[in-house]
Amino acid sequence: GEEVAQTPKHLVRGEGQKAKLYCAPIKGHSYVFWYQQVLKNEFKFLISFQNENVFDETGMPKERFSAKCLPNSPCSLEIQATKLEDSAVYFCASSPPAQLAIYEQYFGPGTRLTVT
């Protein structure tokens, strides 16, 4: 597709429950990124993939967060045992496999996670 698709739009979980978010990158894009946007617009990088391989996971809280990009499936971000502080909008972005593609990182509409 021509747009990054994210589902669901909104997810409500009780503290301690699991949350799973999905992202379908633009067709032909090799790189997928997950960012977390908390209050006051703070954008935080979580993890990136090159196809199905983890490329950079320096932003991932290792204990409760995990992510996958499997062939022929949407990418997913899973949070085990959610905490109140995980409430945020999670954005997925994708970019093509080009050396000058830093300007071609396209964002999805986001999934708003509310932990109660």
Of 51 and 80, CB closest to another protein:
51
Of 39 and 84, CB closest to another protein:
39
Tell me: does residue 22 bind another protein (CB under 8 A): no
Contacts with another protein by CB under 8 A: the residue count is 34
Q: Are 40 and 25 in contact (CB under 8 A)?
A: no
CB within 8 Å of 8: residues ≥ 6 apart: 21, 22, 111
Q: Are 60 and 35 in contact (CB under 8 A)?
A: no
User: What are the residues binding another protein (CB under 8 A)?
Assistant: 4, 30-31, 33, 35, 40-43, 45, 48, 50, 55-56, 59, 91, 93, 95-110, 112
